[in-house]
């Protein structure tokens, strides 16, 4: 197998991270739905016309501002998620890992064992993970073919792992966003019940509690809005990197067989 074994452990770690992200989002969604039901019950026990007027005059921007410090943290987290995704879109393009379409053909026409300047020029003309590993193979062409293959696998593995580590940033956002949203909701609920305990009129108390719960739900909603696309982007880039890794492995194996054909087919002398 061309890829180094530590990439298997990286895949396992990515799976664990994605499972934790999924649990956090599910927990946030369940809490969000439960609080919505509670809020509706509070409005149902009060004046229904007042509830309709309140729902008709919701200012969402104002509600988001009422999220307080937690809301600000969530907005910053959303900006970070967008920046992480844009960075991955730019730097994880196929050209940056596999090089241009004609690079593999040019590499196959070069004698990497003896024509190191040509390999160097190929790397300078089209810098990518593919040409970087080819340059490494050419520099160590005096080694045995199997040793070169193993060394190239380690170099390619480090290239892929550097991309994989940057994907985890989106996983961190997908984990933190619903948890921060839940934190904001819990803080809002504490404040809501503190207000509720000071009121004696049951109808007024129900409306106040329902309104306070509605404000507290904002942070959970924002957290889920951030976490869901972040988790989707995390899995998208993870799958894409796996596909590019397989293509890189195939391309490097083909060039290795071409450059070191005689070494690969050399048979020991039985005399």
Tens digits of residue pLDDT in 161-182: 999 999 999 999 999 999 999 8
pLDDT tens digits for range 7-29: 444 454 445 445 555 555 655 55
User: What's the pLDDT score for residue 263?
Assistant: 56
% of the chain beyond a pLDDT of 90: 25
User: What's the pLDDT score for residue 47?
Assistant: 46
Asked if residues 129 and 148 have their Cβ atoms less than 8 Å apart, the reply is: no
181 closest CA partner among 147, 245, 228, 249: 228
User: What's the pLDDT score for residue 38?
Assistant: 47
Confidence of residue 271 (pLDDT cuts 50, 70, 90): very low
User: What's the pLDDT score for residue 60?
Assistant: 62
Confidence of residue 90 (pLDDT cuts 50, 70, 90): very high
For the chain, the average pLDDT equals 77
């Amino acid at each position: 197998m061309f890829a180094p074994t530590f990439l298997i452990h990286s895949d396992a770690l990515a799976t664990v991270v994605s499972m934790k992200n999924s649990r956090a989002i599910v927990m946030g969604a369940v809490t969000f739905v439960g609080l919505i039901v509670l809020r509706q019950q509070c409005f149902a026990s009060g004046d229904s016309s007042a509830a309709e007027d309140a729902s008709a005059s919701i200012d969402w921007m104002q509600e988001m501002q009422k999220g307080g410090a937690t809301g600000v943290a969530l907005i910053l987290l959303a900006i970070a998620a967008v920046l992480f995704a844009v960075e991955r879109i730019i730097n994880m393009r196929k050209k940056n890992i596999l090089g241009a379409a004609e690079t593999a053909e040019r590499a196959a026409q070069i004698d990497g064992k003896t024509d190191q300047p040509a390999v160097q020029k190929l790397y300078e003309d089209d810098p990518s993970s593919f040409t970087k590993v080819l340059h490494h193979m050419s520099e160590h062409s005096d080694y045995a073919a199997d040793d070169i293959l193993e060394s190239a696998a380690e170099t390619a593995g480090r290239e892929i792992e550097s991309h994989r580590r940057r994907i985890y940033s989106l996983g961190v956002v997908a984990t933190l966003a619903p948890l921060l949203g839940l934190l904001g909701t819990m803080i809002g609920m504490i404040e809501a019940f503190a207000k509720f305990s000071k009121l004696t009129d049951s109808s007024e108390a129900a409306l106040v509690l329902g309104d306070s719960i509605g404000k507290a739900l904002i942070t959970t909603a924002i957290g889920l809005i951030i976490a869901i696309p972040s988790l989707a982007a995390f899995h998208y880039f993870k799958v894409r990197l796996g596909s590019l890794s397989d293509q890189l492995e195939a391309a490097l194996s083909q060039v290795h067989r071409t450059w070191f054909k005689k070494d690969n087919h050399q048979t020991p002398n039985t005399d």
